[in-house]
Structure 1
């Protein structure tokens, strides 16, 4: 079974951890062991990943240098995708020595008229207390928004329209290569009037791009891995309930945070609606069990009304 596996930020850096190379290596090594187990069960995987903390850090570093030396977000996104992909590829290769791997920078087209350019929502970089965030926003011209009990910089996140390297990825998969791609949602580009491409100042949502990639590759399943074991209704409250099997229409209209679970649910629902194949959301460590249907939240066209379970205590 061909599975597009989207690694959430927890695969690279757990919330509250210092953003060090060592911490990221430890977390990626853990994610690689999970992916290796999934591959060991006979599945073919294409791996995508987030880059929010990393691209934000690179932007901060660029801003600290000479004013004429700062790079735009599309270039920083490509830089972070290469950096993260390198570590994922290396740790996977350490576990699966007989397999072939490729990390591929991925361009993704967006609409220059997308309203996201006027209303930034995608959090990047470190978290701050509100006072520090407002001070930095005033000094640097940032837009900021709450992220849990902290605040972060937010940037435009236009909807992905096409994965330009999908045919290359498909070719590699057909030849047994495990591909790491669409890092950070891919590098956002737009077409000029003459048909040439150029990057834009934005960060694409990794889950929506992963869903689009899975559709273009005709994948058998989309697997969105995070640090929560399932999708919950009323998450964080005493009445929280884990959803186990749902149809896209059954979950539409519910209110989920746009900065966390919301895009994952949209991505899963869009893949199921477009392909008729399943998508699932769950905890990184449970990946194999999720694919077997033993845990996590499954999205299916023919899902029964969603059963729920009490939140874990």
Structure 2
């Protein structure tokens, strides 16, 4: 059987506005097509931080201008972002595959993800959405009742609740499409957050972290690899200090220790590491990789990126031993 992978695309793979997105997805499609061409079964998820924020603000302004129009809840804004990001991404990927004479259907699935209405995250908003703002812009938004925070030295952003995902509602459909040989784009923006009340699903005012939702997606389809594509080639400890160090391959236990020691920023690298550890720890022979979009294929080949493995095989043990002894490039041994 072909190896299965879930690719979680970060914001750098999608741009910050519609024009940037249309350019970015063409570049993104080439990297994903490389993996499909190599024979891997691929499911794609993506973030929606800038996009869902823009949609929410636009809908709010529409209601302000015309109070007779409905207030659009956050869950519907997430659904809208899934549709328009998926539209651009699936078309770009379809075109790239056809240019390579690969006959693969690509489909975007509007995906709901169940959350717990009692999740404490609803009392403590932390998930950044929308564009980066100046301090003055953030203060104006705060006066209107929104919550804003400073985001890892990059500016200020609005934050909303970010409950943990419990279950992907359309998991069986995703698996069916994948078994039919299709490339699936699912759980975009972390999925549409819903609360189950009997058979009824109602939207929740939140945005689920896309890395945690993507982890659940990877576990659900029995993936071999969970790849988080972000703005750095490797994860660092002691980041931006004289003692910073790039991480190559880690056991789950080592990764958990680094998390406990507080090496990773909340709202930035921390959720990526937590999701990567969760997947690698969820079953034998499961590997999580965090790297750049352009390095995805090399990451799977073990040539770059930060890899977190649950089961340490002999080759991995040799790499770890070589790194600890300081004997140079472990991949050459």
TM-score when normalising by structure 1: 0.93
Aligned partner of 1:143 in structure 2 is 147
The farther-off stretch of 275-284 and 117-126 is 275-284
How far 1:91 moved relative to its partner? 0.2
Distance 1:84 1:275 in 2: 31
Question: Which of the residues 17, 21, 26 maps onto 2:18?
Answer: 21
Per the alignment, residue 102 of structure 1 pairs with 107
SS of 2:80's equivalent in the other structure is helix
* Structure 1 residue 238: Cα displacement: 2.5
Shift of 1:12: 0.6
Give yes or no for the alignment of 1:122 onto 2:122: no
d(CA) in 1 for partners of 2:227, 2:111 = 19
Alignment partner of 1:296 is 2:311: no
CA distance in 2 between partners of 1:35 and 1:254 (Å):
34
Q: Quote the Cα distance in structure 2 between the aligned partners of 1:152 and 1:299.
A: 30
For 1:62-86, what per-residue CA distance to the aligned partner results, in whole angstroms no more than 9, with x for missing partners? 1111244320110000000110001
What runs of 5+ residues in structure 2 fail to find an aligned partner? 329-333
- Residue number among 260, 265, 275 corresponding to 2:273 in the alignment: 265
> Quick check: 1:71 aligned with 2:68?
no
Q: Which residue of 1 aligns with 2:183?
A: 178
Secondary structure in 2 matching 1:267: helix
Mapping for residues 1-313 of structure 1, pairs under 5 Å: 1-13=3-15, 19-66=16-63, 67=67, 68-97=69-98, 98-138=103-143, 140-149=144-153, 150-192=155-197, 194-252=198-256, 253-255=260-262, 256-276=264-284, 277-301=286-310, 302=312, 304=317, 307=323
Say whether the 8 Å CA contact 2:109–2:185 is kept in structure 1: yes
8 Å CA contact 2:147, 2:159 repeated in 1? yes
How many residue pairs were aligned?
303
Shift of 1:36: 0.5
Structure 2: distance between partners of 1:52 and 1:20: 11
**Contact 2:46–2:188 (8 Å) recurs in 1:** yes
RMSD: 1.6
Normalising by the residue count of structure 2, what TM-score does the alignment of the two structures yield?
Answer: 0.88
Give the superposition deviation at 1:163. 0.6
Give the superposition deviation at 1:279: 0.8
Distance 2:56 2:92 in 1: 26
- Provide the C-alpha distance between the structure 2 equivalents of 1:165 and 1:6, rounded to a whole number of angstroms: 17
CA distance in 2, matches of 1:238, 1:131: 33
Select between 78-87 and 255-264 the one with higher mean Cα deviation: 255-264
Q: CA deviation at 1:270?
A: 0.4
Q: CA deviation at 1:22?
A: 1.7
Unaligned runs of 5+ in 1: 14-18
**What SS does the aligned partner of 2:212 have?**
helix
Q: How far has the Cα of 1:28 moved from its partner?
A: 1.1
CA–CA distance in structure 1, aligned partners of residues 249 and 167 of structure 2: 29
Q: Which segment is superposed worse, 45-54 or 67-76?
A: 67-76
Alignment check: 8 A CA contact 2:189 2:208 kept: yes
| Deviations, residues 88-131 of structure 1 (Å, cap 9, x unaligned) | 10000111122111100111000000000000100000111112
- Which has the higher Rg, Structure 1 or Structure 2? 2
